[in-house]
Amino acid sequence: MQKVFDDVHALDKRCVDKFGLSEELLMEHAAASMMQYIRGKFSNNEKILIVCGAGNNGADGIALARLLYSQYDVSILVPYHVKSAMAKLQYKRANLLGVNIIDTLSVLSLEHGPDVIVDCLFGSGLNRDLDDESQRLLTRLNSRCGHKIACDIPSGINKQGQVTTVGFCADITITMGALKTQLYSDVAKDYTGNIIVSDLGVHRSIYETATNTFLLDSADIKLPLRIKQNSHKGSFGHLSVIVGNKTGAGIIAAEAAFAFGAGLVTVITEQEVNVPYHIMQTSILPENCTAVAIGMGLGHDRKAQVKQILNRDIAKVVDADLFHNDVILTVLNSENVVLTPHPKEFCSLLKRTKLAEITVVELQNNRFKYVRLFAVNYPQTVLLLKGANSLITYNNIIYINPLGSNALSKGGTGDVLTGLIAALLAQGYSAVNATITASLAHCMSATNYPKNNYSLTPMDVIEGVKVL
C-alpha cells in the first residue's frame, strides 16, 4: 500500500523548511530521476524531445535536457516564454551549454520523429483550461510515435483529475515526491500509463507525512487460505444470497462466493431456480447464516422480506437495485455493512441520503470529493465505488484499487465482486478487509486472464479467483 496526497506543495515546502533543502535541489532530483529512467531504457544518441512550459514543470524538463545533453540528441521545445525564476535559471544554463532550443514543433522533421517525448508542459500548476495552442500542441504530440514520458502529471490533467479538453497520453508518468490523487481519477487512467515516484533529495518515507488516502497493490491481498486441518464446512461460514427477478445475478454471486471459500452458500428465492448442485436453496434466511448478499437482480418487490433481512444483525453486502430504494437508509449507520454501487447507483444513494443531487458526469469528474462526502457522514459503513479505479472507503480512509481493467466492463462482473466480498464476510473478515481483498482478487483474476481483453466472462473471473 502506498500513500497518496491531494497536494504535495506542503511536502515540498516541508523539505525546504525542515531539512534545509532548496527548490533547486528538489528540481535537480526530479530531473535526475527522469534521466535515470531514460538511460535505463534508451541507448546513446537516441532522439529526445522535451516539451517545456513556462513554470517549474518546464524547468524540470530544461534541467533534464542539460543532464542528457551530448549523450542523446536532445531538443527542447519551449512554446511560451519561461516565467518562473527556476525556469529562467534552467533555460539560461541549457542555453550556455548549447542545447537545441526550438519554439515550434514544425521545425522537427516528421520522418525522423523523436524516439522519446517528455511532457513538461504543465504539472501541478495547471490552473485553467488549456488554450487552443496548448490543445493543438498536445494533440500533435499524442499523434507522434515514440515513448512518451509525463513529468509529474500528464499535461491537461487538472487538480480534480479531469481532462477538460486534451491531455498528454503517456506511457509512463514519473511523478515527483509522492503519488497524487488526481492521477487516480477514472479519466486519468487513459493518460498516465504506468506511474512511478521519484525521490526528491530525501527518501520517500521522509518526504511523505500522514495521509488518509492509500493506493492498494497486489501485495495487500489476504486470501482466505485455510490453516487448520481440523475443520468442517461450518468452519468457513454460511452465506445467504438473496435471488430476485433477475435470477442470474444472485446465482453468479453465489458461485463466486463458493469459489472464494465460503463453506456453505444458500440462495434465498421465492421460486425454485436452477443452481449448481453445491448451492442450496430455500425461501427464508437460514438461522446459522453468517453473511448476506442482497440487491443484485433483486427488482423492487419483496419489500417486507428485504427490510427484515436488512434489519438482521448479520454482516452484509448491499448492491444494485437497493440503491434505488429508501430502505437502504436503514443500514447506513450499522457496522459490518458493505455497499458496492456503480456510479449511477452511487448518485442515487447520495440523493437518498440527501448528501448531494448530482449527475453521473459530475460524480465521475469528482469521485474523490463525493466518496469523501459519504465517508465523513457514514464513517463506519464500507463503500466501494466501482470504476476504472475503484475507491473503497471506511473510517474516513480511502483505498484506491488501480488494478482493474477494461476486460471487466461486462454485465455480471459486479455480481462476482459482491459474491467475493460476501464470501469473506461469511468467513469472518471485517467489512473493510473483506472489501479490499475481494476487490483485489476480482481485478487480479481479470489481469491474469490469458486470452484478450474482450472475451472475459463472469465465470472466467470466478475461475481466475480459484487460482490466485
Ligand X SMILES: NC(=O)C1=CN([C@@H]2O[C@H](COP(=O)(O)OP(=O)(O)OC[C@H]3O[C@@H](n4cnc5c(N)ncnc54)[C@H](OP(=O)(O)O)[C@@H]3O)[C@@H](O)[C@H]2O)[C@@H](O)CC1
- List residues binding K ion (CB under 5 A): 119, 123, 150-151, 155
342 contacts which partner out of ligand X, K ion, ligand ADP, none, CB within 5 to 8 A by kind? ligand ADP
Among candidate residues 237, 166, 152, the one with its CA nearest the CA of residue 197: 152
Q: Determine if 23 is a binding residue for ligand X (CB under 6 A).
A: yes
Task: Identify how many contiguous H helices and E strands the chain contains and give both numbers.
Answer: 14, 19
DSSP structural state of residue 330: G
| Per CB under 6 A, 246 contacts ligand ADP | no
DSSP state of 277: T
Shortest Cβ distance from residue 273 to ligand ADP (Å)? 18
Residue 388's binding partner out of ligand X, K ion, ligand ADP, none, with CB under 5 to 8 Å set by partner kind: ligand ADP
Cell of 16: 525546504
- Name the amino acid, one letter, at 449: Y
- C-alpha to C-alpha distances, 454 to 166, 253, 405, 408, 449, nearest whole angstrom: 27, 21, 11, 9, 11
State which residue, 179 or 462, has the beta carbon closest to ligand X: 179
Asked if residue 204 binds ligand X (CB under 6 A), the reply is: no
Complex with K ion: residue 175 or 340, whichever CB lies closer: 175
Q: Is 35 in the site for ligand X (CB under 6 A)?
A: no
**192 touches ligand X by CB under 6 A:** no
Asked whether position 125 contacts ligand X by CB under 6 A, the answer is: yes
- 292 is written with which cell numbers? 448476506
Stretch of residues binding ligand ADP (CB under 6 A), selected from 164-172, 254-262, 272-280, 409-417 = 409-417
Binding residue (CB under 6 A) for ligand X from 90, 134, 269, 389? 134
Assess 33 for contact with ligand X (CB under 6 A). Answer: no
Q: Does 218 bind ligand ADP (CB under 6 A)?
A: no
Task: Tell whether 352 is in a known binding site.
Answer: no
CB atoms within 10 A of CB 142: 17
Give the one residue of 150, 166, 176, 242 binding ligand X; rule: CB under 6 A.
176
Element (H, E) at 3: strand 2-5
The DSSP element (H or E) to which 280 belongs, if any, is strand 280-282
Q: How far is the CB of 141 from K ion (least distance, A)?
A: 11
Q: Which residues inside 417-456 make contact with ligand ADP, applying CB under 6 A?
A: 417
Strands 47-52 and 116-120: parallel
Q: Is 303 annotated as a binding residue?
A: no
Q: In this chain, which of 3, 35, 46, 60 binds ligand X, going by CB under 6 A?
A: 60
List the alpha helices (DSSP H) in 211-283.
247-259
Alpha helices in 42-99 (DSSP H): 56-68, 85-97
Stretches 117-125, 136-144, 223-231, 401-409: which one binds ligand ADP (CB under 6 A)?
401-409
Q: Which stretch binds ligand ADP (CB under 6 A): 24-32, 230-238, 274-282, 383-391?
A: 383-391
CB of 177 to ligand X, least distance (A): 6
Contact between 83 and ligand X by CB under 6 A: the answer reads: yes
What's the rounded Cα separation, in Å, for the pair 59 and 65? 10
Q: Could you say which of ligand X, ligand ADP, K ion, none residue 409 binds, taking C-beta under 5 to 8 angstroms by partner kind? A: ligand ADP
| SS3 label, residue 401 | strand
| E strands present in 168-260 | 172-176, 179-180, 194-198, 213-215, 238-242
* Strand order across the beta sheet in which 194-198 lies: 100-102, 73-77, 47-52, 116-120, 147-151, 172-176, 194-198
Nearer to ligand X, 26 or 264 (CB): 26
In angstroms, the CA 74 to CA 99 distance is 7
In the numeric block, the cell 529512467 is attached to 37
- 80: Cβ contacts below 8 Å, ≥ 6 apart: 53, 54
CB of 415 to ligand ADP, least distance (A): 4
Pairing outcome for strands 390-394 and 147-151: unpaired
Q: Does 388 bind ligand ADP (CB under 6 A)?
A: yes
**Beta bridge partners of residue 325, listed in sequence order:** none
Binds ligand X by CB under 6 A, chosen from 106, 109, 127, 271: 127
- Joined together, the cell numbers standing for residue 88 give 529562467
Residues comprising the chain, all counted: 468
7 binds ligand X (CB under 6 A): no
Cα–Cα dist 407/270, whole Å: 34
Give the one residue of 142, 405, 430, 457 binding ligand ADP; rule: CB under 6 A: 405
Give whichever of 127 and 274 is closer to ligand X, judged by the CB atom: 127
**H-state helical runs in 282-342:** 303-311
Interface ranges with ligand X (CB under 6 A): 12, 23, 26-27, 30, 53-58, 60, 83-84, 122-131, 134, 151-153, 176, 200
State the residues that interact with ligand ADP by CB under 6 A. Answer: 320, 342, 386-388, 390, 404-406, 408-409, 411-415, 417
The binding site comprises 56-60, 119, 123-129, 152, 155, 249, 297, 342, 386-390, 414-415
List, as residue ranges, the binding site for K(+).
57, 119, 155
**Binding site as annotated, residues for (6S)-NADPHX:** 56-60, 123-129, 152, 249, 297, 342, 415
Binding residues for AMP: 386-390, 414
